[in-house]
Structure 1
Amino acid sequence: MPDAIGGYFELELPPGQGELYPDALRFQSARAAFFALLETGRPKRIWMPWYNCETMLEPPAMAGVEVRRYRIDEQFNIADDIEIDSRDWILYVNYFGLCDERIDRLLERLPRERVVIDNSQALFSAPRDCLATLYSPRKFFGLPDGGYLVTRVGVPIPDEQDNGSVERTTPLLTRLDRGAEAGYAGIQAARATLRGQRPKRMSTLTQRLLAHIDYPSAIERRNRNFERYHRLLGGNELPLATQSGHAALCYPFWNRRSDLHAKLAAKRIFVPRYWPNIRGESGTAEDFEFRMSTECLALPCDHRYGPNEIDYVVAALRAAIEAS
């Protein structure tokens, strides 16, 4: 039966460029895509970094796959000597969308057919020739949900389609209409609905939204904003921040201070922590992972902003640093 004809109008969406990865498998989240991959591939165990979103531990737990952890160094290279068994997989995170060269080197020395690349922070980084690549476009655009999986594993498409996108869209509309603070509780609640779910197909709403994004313009503006931060800011102790032109998730700024998030929030500059509950192997401030989770500022550089907003953030950050 065809779609309904006549009656009231649906939400109007502007013309777009089509989806970034039309051949990817579409799920309700990158986390669900990861679960589907594990459930199909059934590795004996998977190596995962300490420095990663804690929700990514849900899929292996639900799939009954053992997790081993590894450390990273200040260059975001793997710091441990890992021996990957023939039934092991390893997941590497493309941190802030700035680790493409590290991924290429990693795939030269590890069996690429057992490597999963987590591009949740690197939407515009092309899939590599490896076991699988994960994407989370909602970290880059105003989307209610959605995740991509590009893989050589024959992962089946779920029968059930996600039907929660309309409710998850409410905080996005609230921010548009009433500001960031008004929608914050709602976005937290919306994200919570994606926890502990079995894989489902991406909703029709999310697919339509993804197809109507002006990706080239977004990439250009992200790169321009990233370069402006790097030109104006000094004192960044994170070597990755010297790499521009990657349409990065953010501009990661690290100067070993843990009090700057609150100072910026007082100026209505909301900077996330990646990731606030993460601790390293020892669970102390000696771990690089601990310091990154508490001290690194993920300064916004996305397509919503231009030179005026970037200059405002830089001025506020400088004032916060100089005030103490």
Structure 2
Amino acid sequence: MKEIGGYIELDTYILPRLHEEAVALNCGRNALAYLIEAKKIKKICLPFFLCDSVKKVCQKYGIHQRYYHITPEFKPIISSLDKDEWLYIVNFYGQVSNEYILELTKKYSHIILDQAQSYFTSPVEGIDTIYTCRKFFGVPDGAFLYTDSQIKREIPRDESFKRMNFILGRYERTASEFYEESYENNKFFENEPIKKMSKLTENLLHGLDYDRIKQTRTNNFRILKKRLNNINQISVSMIEGAYMYPLLIPDAALIKKRLLEHKVYIPTLWPNVLEEVNKDWLEWNYAKNILPIPCDQRYDFDDMNYIISLIEGGVKHE
């Protein structure tokens, strides 16, 4: 029986949402798990430069894993695949273009594209593609999957209301007060089964101004690229709706520490890589010395210039 009256809950939002036609799931890891189950994947080829969450999903499902290196431009170095092997490609910082992916489809028929760092890049037709929401918006979970296959069994729906505290808390207080909760929320999904996206997350995603968000991220990325290009040791392409700006510099830890002292938080995106690969590999250098500089919709021209001044001051000092 429908409840009528009483106190008013969160409003229902009806603005257009990106990826409306995709399968809406609870997290990116389970978007991969969905593909493994739906397509009966048994073998996969992964980049060495990769977070351990993807590897853990593959281990959980008993998938045979093989690894490949990447070029300085983040593209895969691989000569061949087995007939039943899937190629897992990560669009690092949005630097791997759809045109390049289309070229790969001429050679490989089984490709999974991870767009966790490129939410605003359109899917490539016929390519199984994963998008995650938490890296771009203030939601505790959520992922979208483009695929031509479906799981036959019934999938339960997730609920998010108990995991909203750290997001609401940071809105009214400081990030440091709620960091532990944010960290625990990330760990929570390690053992979560495949679920449909929660009603709460779906609703929040219908309340966003995607055009404004995309434009703000683009403008901020452009400023960082223009000002930091002269010290960046990798060539970075201009992209729309960027995730973060990847700045590769020697002794990045010293600059990261300087930024932290001024409450500019720079994540270490793939700490597992530092323990899993040789120190003379490109992947180790990238994991150690790429600083992902924030450029999201919370910030503006003045914020970007402030970050740049801290970086330039640290580089000169060192």
**TM-superposed deviation, 1:221:** 0.7
1:143 corresponds to: 139
Residue deviations 1:227-265 (CA, integer Å, cap 9, x gap): 1111112211111x2x21321111111123232222211
1:39 corresponds to: 37
1:93 corresponds to: 90
1:213 corresponds to: 208
Query: Structure 1's 97 and 89: CA in aligned 2 closer, same or farther, altered over 3 A?
Result: same
1:250 corresponds to: 244
2:17 corresponds to: 19
Paired amino acid for 2:15: Q
Paired amino acid for 2:281: D
Structure 2 counterparts to residues 98-247 of structure 1, below 5 A = 98-100=95-97, 101-111=99-109, 114-156=110-152, 158-163=154-159, 165-233=160-228, 234-239=230-235, 241=236, 243-247=237-241
Do residues 10 (structure 1) and 9 (structure 2) align?
yes
**TM-superposed deviation, 1:178:** 1.2
Do residues 269 (structure 1) and 264 (structure 2) align?
yes
Equivalent-residue separation in structure 2 for 1:310 and 1:304 (angstroms): 11
Equivalent-residue separation in structure 2 for 1:308 and 1:208 (angstroms): 32
Query: Structure 1's 8 and 151: CA in aligned 2 closer, same or farther, altered over 3 A?
Result: same
Paired amino acid for 2:4: I
Residue deviations 1:75-131 (CA, integer Å, cap 9, x gap): 1121232x21221111100111221143233223322xx101001111111111234
Residue deviations 1:188-242 (CA, integer Å, cap 9, x gap): 0111111122101111000001111110000111111111111112211111x2x
Do residues 75 (structure 1) and 69 (structure 2) align?
no
Residue deviations 1:11-33 (CA, integer Å, cap 9, x gap): 246x5632201111111101111
1:66 corresponds to: 64
Paired amino acid for 2:96: C
TM-score normalized by structure 2? 0.94
Query: Structure 1's 94 and 148: CA in aligned 2 closer, same or farther, altered over 3 A?
Result: same
Q: Which deviates the most, 4-13 or 311-320?
A: 4-13
1:51 corresponds to: 49
Do residues 301 (structure 1) and 300 (structure 2) align?
no
**TM-superposed deviation, 1:280:** 8.2
Equivalenced residues, count:
315
Is contact 1:46–1:91 with CA below 8 Å preserved after alignment? yes
Identify which of 81, 89, 102 aligns with 1:84: 81
Query: Structure 1's 157 and 170: CA in aligned 2 closer, same or farther, altered over 3 A?
Result: farther
Query: Structure 1's 215 and 157: CA in aligned 2 closer, same or farther, altered over 3 A?
Result: farther
TM-score normalized by structure 1? 0.92
Equivalent-residue separation in structure 2 for 1:223 and 1:276 (angstroms): 27
Paired amino acid for 2:204: L
Equivalent-residue separation in structure 2 for 1:316 and 1:41 (angstroms): 48
Equivalent-residue separation in structure 2 for 1:250 and 1:157 (angstroms): 37
**TM-superposed deviation, 1:278:** 1.2
Residue 182 of structure 2 aligns to a residue in which SS?
A: helix
Paired amino acid for 1:65: I
1:319 corresponds to: 313
Is contact 2:155–2:194 with CA below 8 Å preserved after alignment? no
Equivalent-residue separation in structure 1 for 2:275 and 2:238 (angstroms): 28
Query: Structure 1's 156 and 150: CA in aligned 2 closer, same or farther, altered over 3 A?
Result: farther
Runs of 4+ in 1 over 6 A off after TM superposition: none
Equivalent-residue separation in structure 1 for 2:287 and 2:152 (angstroms): 35
Equivalent-residue separation in structure 2 for 1:93 and 1:69 (angstroms): 13
Residue 139 of structure 1 aligns to a residue in which SS?
A: coil
**TM-superposed deviation, 1:299:** 0.4
Q: Which deviates the most, 227-236 or 199-208?
A: 227-236
Query: Structure 1's 258 and 228: CA in aligned 2 closer, same or farther, altered over 3 A?
Result: closer
Paired amino acid for 2:247: F
